[in-house]
Amino acid sequence: MSPTPAVPELRPLAMGEMIDRAATFWRAHLKPLFVMSFGFSLVNYIVTKVAMLTTQRLAPLLYTGDAQSRGQMDPTQLMGQAGVAMALWGVLFVFLFWSYWLATMTASKYVVSVHLGEPVGPADALRRAFSRVVPMTGAYVISMGWSTLVTVLCLVPGALFGGLAFAAAVNGSNVMGAALGIIAALLAGLGAIAAMLWYFLRFMLLPPVMATEDVGAWEAFRRSGALLSGRVEPGFLGRVVVRAMILYTVMSLILISVQLVSQIPSWVVMAQYGSPFDAATMSRTPQYVLVPVELLQVFVQAGLTPIYFVFCSLFYLDMRVRREALDLERRMEAPPASPQAA
């Protein structure tokens, strides 16, 4: 099957070529990708805004005064409100990740279908995603449980050094306790970063699998892990996990840069009422001023975030081409070309 502009060629891609093709596809299909992404981005913004306003209402001590005045508050009341805030933000965190999976699955259906020569519209991609929401939620629950175990294991070294720091402080060795405490904090931070990176890499291909293959939650969990295991080329860079880590890092840097740039207008607005990095400033800033710039941020992110969804879909296709000869399979299934008229 010869490649056409509407049907990109299926073949193994080099790492740089994959990023270039993701950007090219994103530019060529910006409108449908934006349409699919904007709805999820808007819902995420609304839910986040409601959670933030609810937290400000239920835990006002966290959003008023400076650090010195907070230190003079009733510790019991302050800790209680902090617990309520952590619970609300924990629920928000779980929802946002679930929504991210659903958005990735929707875009993956669109991107993969175009590459397989069977393009679908945004509405069809959304219908496919919502028809698979139950098994996707099951796979999401499995991933959260698995990641919780990995996170605990990654935090063990920091916890051990934290225990040693506490023991040293109790025994009167303040210098040793402080040194061990710093080491514990560094190990805990690195462990948390490692756990988060592991989560995104391990389940990077699960939404495309759910979008394009009729498998259940556990089968999708195993299938995505199998596609990311082993190696596809000789050498260190031939390991799939290494390739995925390098490409994911590049894409993450792009998205983080976009996120920071898109937040500049809200920082400028909040700067009129205090430091934009202080929680109290956010509560002091009038919502009629803050909401318009935040909606602008949502608009920008909805246009640029799909490039990551495209990358995940291309990586999924690349793994199937390299491991399962998907390109040859599609060529064999293609109808024979009609003979040229004399």
Q: pLDDT band for position 28 (50/70/90)?
A: very high
pLDDT tens readout for residues 111-155: 999 988 888 899 999 999 999 999 999 999 999 999 999 999 999
Q: What pLDDT, in 10s, does the model give residues 78-108? A: 777 778 888 888 899 999 999 999 999 999 9
DSSP secondary structure string for all residues of 193-210: HHHHHHHHHHTTTHHHHH
221-261 confidence digits (pLDDT tens): 999 989 988 888 887 778 888 888 888 888 888 888 878 88
Domain ranges of the chain: 17-322
Residue 4 has pLDDT above 50, yes or no: no
pLDDT value of position 66: 53
**Residue-averaged pLDDT of the chain:** 84
Position 341 scores a pLDDT of 43
**Confidence band (pLDDT; 50, 70, 90) for 53?**
confident
Helix ranges (DSSP H) in the chain: 15-28, 30-58, 67-71, 75-115, 122-131, 133-170, 174-202, 206-212, 217-227, 240-270, 279-284, 287-304, 306-324, 326-333
Judged against a pLDDT cut of 90, whether residue 286 lies above it is answered with no
For residue range 327-340, list pLDDT tens digits in order. 777 777 666 655 55
Contact 247, 200 (CB under 8 A): no
Mean pLDDT computed over 34-56: 91
Beta carbons within 10 angstroms of residue 16's beta carbon: 10
For the chain, what percent of residues have pLDDT higher than 70?
91
Q: What percent of the chain has pLDDT over 90?
A: 32
* The pLDDT value given to residue 34: 94
Q: pLDDT grade, residue 301 (50/70/90)?
A: confident
Q: Identify the pLDDT of residue 169.
A: 79
- The residue among 125 and 65 whose pLDDT is bigger is 125
Which tokens go with 153? 């294991």
Note the pLDDT of residue 5: 44
